Amino acid sequence: MIDIETMGTGNNAAILSIGAVKFDLSLRDVSHDCIIDRFYAPVDLKSSQGFGGKIDADTVMWWLNSARDVARVEMLGEQRIDLASVLEGFARWFGDDSLPVWGNGATFDNVIVRSAYDSIGMDCPWKFYDDRCHRTLKNLAPGLNPPRLGVHHNALADAEFQVHQLLMVVKHLGLIL
């Protein structure tokens, strides 16, 4: 599961942070927490812009809303890393084998990360056919939400929340993924 925070909404949005978790739904019978590994990196915004990442005014205004004060303050205190180093580190963490990658929206997280890889001249670590849309699946069972842990709009906390939500939806619908 990937979650990103950005300064835009287009496929070339400037990335603020990337959070991701590897999970194994077969562990759901053993433990509620099926997360087996985590990745988080705050991205230097100037670096993201330097590779073509776009900032849009509506997203800047969205971040300035007081509802995002905690997330914004947390982000401002983080040591930022240049985009290329973050994406190289993410690819190492991801590994050599393509796996299904869930993002919260068919045209958002996965697409923006893939575009960022293109911008630095590096291959995305997963194949296009492994893209999955968490938003589509969760809308099949609206209202199923696990308790939220961590700061809302922290990319890692959001990725973890989405995995737990995915687990609830899969159980509710009786799906095997």
What average pLDDT score do residues 165-169 get?
91
Q: At what angle do helices 83-94 and 109-120 cross, to 10 degrees?
A: 110
Contact 41, 23 (CB under 8 A): no
Map out the domains of the chain with their CATH numbers: 2-173 (3.30.420.10)
Instruction: Report residue 28's pLDDT band, with 50, 70 and 90 as the boundaries.
Output: low
CA separation for the pair 13, 42 (Å, rounded): 15
pLDDT digits (tens, 9 = 90+) for 40-64: 999 999 999 999 999 999 999 999 9
pTM for the predicted model, two decimal places: 0.94
Residue 26 has pLDDT above 80, yes or no: no
